[in-house]
Amino acid sequence: MEEALAPLLPEGSIRRGTAVAVSGHGAMTLAVALTAEASRRGSWVAAIGMADLGVAALAERGVDLERWALIDLPGATRSRSLMADAEGAVVDGFDLVMLGSAARVGGATARRLLARMREHGASLVCAIGGASTDIVAGLQPEVRLMITQTRWTGIDNGHGRLLARQAEVTIGGRGAASRPRRMPVWLPSEDGRVACAELARTSASTLDLGLQDLRERRAG
Partner 1 sequence: MMAVRLGASHADDWEPVAAALEQFTPEAEALRPGLHAFGARGPSRYFGGERALAELVAKAVAGAMPSASRAGVGVADGLFAAGLAAKAASASTDVLVVPPQQSQPFLVDLPLISLHDPVSPLHGDEDGAEALLDVLWRLGIRTLGDLAALSEADVLGRFGWTGLLAHRLACGLDDRPLQTEAAGEDAGAEAEIDPPADRIETVAFMARALADTMMARLDRDGLDCMSVNIEAHSDSGHASHRRWRHEFRFNAPAVVDRVRWQLEGWYRSPERPAGPITLIRIKPCAVAPANGRQLGMWGARSEADERAAKALARVQGLLGAEAVTVPHLAGGRRPADTGRRVPLHAAGDADRGQDSSATGPRNGKKKKKTKTKVVDAPWAGRLPAPSPAVVPPQPEPVVVTDCEGALVTVGGRGEASAPPQRFTDSAGRSQAVTAWAGPWPLDERWWRPSARRRQARFQLVLNDGSAHLCVLESGRWWREATYD
Query: What are the residues binding partner 1 (CB under 8 A)?
Result: 25-29, 32, 42-44, 46, 51-60, 65-74, 78, 82, 85-86, 89-90, 92-95, 129, 149-152, 155-165, 188, 192
- Answer positive or negative: Cα dihedral of 4, 10, 11, 13: negative
Cα–Cα distance, 205 to 94 (Å, whole number): 37
CB nearer partner 1, residue 177 or residue 196: 196
Neighbouring residues of 171: CB distance < 8 A, sequence distance ≥ 6: 8, 9, 143, 144, 145, 146, 177, 180, 181, 182, 183
CB nearer partner 1, residue 149 or residue 178: 149
Does a cis peptide bond (omega within 30 degrees of 0) precede residue 188?
yes
Cα–Cα distance, 197 to 153 (Å, whole number): 14
Task: In angstroms, give the least distance from the CB of 127 to partner 1.
Answer: 8
Q: Residue 178: how many CB atoms within 10 A of its CB?
A: 10
Neighbouring residues of 127: CB distance < 8 A, sequence distance ≥ 6: 22, 27, 28, 30, 31, 32, 50, 98, 99, 100, 101
Task: In angstroms, give the least distance from the CB of 9 to partner 1.
Answer: 20
Task: In angstroms, give the least distance from the CB of 112 to partner 1.
Answer: 15
Task: In angstroms, give the least distance from the CB of 114 to partner 1.
Answer: 17
Task: Please say whether the beta carbons of 98 and 45 come within 8 A.
Answer: yes
CB nearer partner 1, residue 37 or residue 95: 95
Task: In angstroms, give the least distance from the CB of 141 to partner 1.
Answer: 19
CB nearer partner 1, residue 6 or residue 53: 53
**Up-side HSE of residue 22: CA atoms within 13 Å toward CB?**
24
CB nearer partner 1, residue 42 or residue 220: 42
Element (H, E) at 143: strand 143-155
CB nearer partner 1, residue 141 or residue 188: 188
